[in-house]
């Protein structure tokens, strides 16, 4: 018998002063049985960083042909493809061929090892950005996960804070690769 997804709901108040974006979307996320709370919360942070009316969660782990989040234009062309974790070279090359922009958010303590083995294989991908989130911060995010959440995300001068009203987590980022590279 196949395990079913667990549904999480988040009322997320986003104040992104870097982009002048201020919205409070109500999000519904399906957490795959093999997905951790930490990974799901990293998906939520990725949403907050790139939030706009066209950005949506996808089938993700349920469908290997889709990223964790994507943004499509009105014609259905993929403008932004977001992966969470440590995808392999084939996934990234395929994503770079299908989308205008590809962003990977890695978050594990082993991300530096993963990136060292992958960097040369994807250096020709000019539309790829790889961002490593601080592992201690993402572990704290995982502990914040609840089936129903009310969260506030503030982004200012490249800094990110996520709070549930009790705990505030500052999420540090390290750029492994930017589209300009």
132 located within any domain: yes
94 located within any domain: yes
Residue 118 and residue 98: Cα distance in Å, rounded?
Answer: 19
pLDDT (tens digit per residue) in 55-91: 999 875 555 678 999 999 999 999 999 999 999 999 9
CATH number at residue 69: 3.10.640.10
1 located within any domain: no
Whole-number percent of the chain with pLDDT over 90: 86
Q: Is the pLDDT of residue 140 over 70?
A: yes
Q: Indicate the burial class of 32 (C-beta count within 10 angstroms; 0-12, 13-18, 19 or more).
A: middle
Q: Is the pLDDT of residue 98 over 90?
A: yes
CA proximity to 103, closest of 41, 153, 28, 175: 175
58 located within any domain: yes
In this structure, of 5-14, 55-64, 92-101, the range with the lowest mean pLDDT score is 55-64
Name the 3-class secondary structure at 87.
Answer: coil
Q: How much is the mean pLDDT over the chain?
A: 93
158 located within any domain: yes
Q: Is the pLDDT of residue 167 over 60?
A: yes
Q: Which residue has the higher pLDDT, 112 or 34?
A: 112
Residue 91 and residue 108: Cα distance in Å, rounded?
Answer: 18
165 located within any domain: yes
Q: Are 102 and 92 in contact, with CB atoms under 8 Å apart?
A: yes
CA proximity to 150, closest of 165, 169, 168: 165
What's the structural domain count of the chain? 1
- Identify the domain containing residue 48 by its residue range: 6-177
According to the model, what pLDDT value does residue 100 have?
Answer: 96
């Amino acid at each position: 018998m196949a395990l079913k997804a667990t549904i999480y709901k988040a009322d997320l108040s986003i104040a992104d002063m870097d982009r002048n974006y201020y919205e409070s979307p109500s999000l519904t996320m399906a957490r795959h049985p093999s997905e951790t709370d930490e990974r799901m919360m990293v998906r939520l942070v990725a949403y907050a960083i790139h939030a706009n009316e066209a950005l949506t969660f996808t089938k993700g782990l349920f469908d290997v042909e889709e990223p964790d989040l994507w943004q499509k234009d009105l014609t259905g062309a993929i403008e932004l493809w977001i992966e969470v974790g440590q995808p392999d070279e084939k996934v990234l090359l395929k994503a770079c061929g299908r989308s205008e922009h590809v962003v990977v958010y890695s978050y594990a303590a082993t991300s530096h090892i993963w990136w060292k083995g992958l960097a040369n294989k994807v250096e020709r991908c000019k539309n790829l950005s790889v961002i490593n989130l601080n592992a201690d911060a993402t572990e704290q995010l995982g502990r914040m996960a609840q089936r129903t959440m009310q969260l506030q995300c503030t982004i200012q001068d490249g800094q990110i804070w996520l709070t549930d009203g009790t705990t505030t987590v500052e999420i540090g980022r390290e750029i492994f690769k930017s589209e300009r590279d």
